[in-house]
Amino acid sequence: MSIKVTQQEAVTVLTLTGRFDALMSREFKSCISGLINNKRLYMVIDMSSVDFIDSSGMGALVGGVRGVIKEQGEIRIAGLSPEVQTIFELTRLHRIFDIYETVDRACASFS
């Protein structure tokens, strides 16, 4: 489980690896609030290496979207693998996200 933060011009990319459960949610939330504090308000969440997500992870994503929008920023999500589909279907939370196939497309969409 890890979160890597890289800057691609104006866009901050968060690459999540491993299980997006309550442990990663804890890190994800503090990571997002750190970025908001530093006025990094355009983010792409790269989920392509997330092999599992539960409702804690989904909740953290929703909270992240809300927090960033409140500060007039934007979060986009890229690289959803089939492993994460089950919970998207059950919670129907995918409707709150801006979803792109790849990180590159998500980054490009900002310009």
Partner 1 sequence: MHYLLEIPAALESLRIAAPFTTAVLQELPEIRDRDRIIRELTLVASEAVTNALCHGSVTGLTIRLEYDLAPDAIIISVTDYGSGFDLETVVPPDLVLFQEGGYGVYIMKSIMDVVSYEKTDDGNYLVLRKSWERQ
Distance of closest approach, residue 78 Cβ to partner 1, in angstroms: 20
Which of 21, 40, 99, 110 binds partner 1 (CB under 8 A)? It is 21
CB neighbourhood size of 52 (10 A): 16
> Which parts of 34-63 interact with partner 1 (CB under 8 A)?
52, 54-56, 58-60, 62-63
Q: 27: buried, middle or exposed (CB in 10 Å: 19+, 13-18, 0-12)? A: middle
User: Which tokens in the block code for residue 111?
Assistant: 């310009």
CA 67, 69, 73, 79 torsion-angle sign: positive
> Which is closer to partner 1, CB of 33 or CB of 56?
56
The answer to whether the beta carbons of residues 97 and 63 sit under 8 Å apart is no
Residue 83 touches partner 1, criterion: CB under 8 A: yes
Distance of closest approach, residue 54 Cβ to partner 1, in angstroms: 4
- Where on the chain is the footprint of partner 1 (CB under 8 A)? 19, 21-23, 26, 52, 54-56, 58-60, 62-63, 66, 83, 86-87, 90-93, 95-96
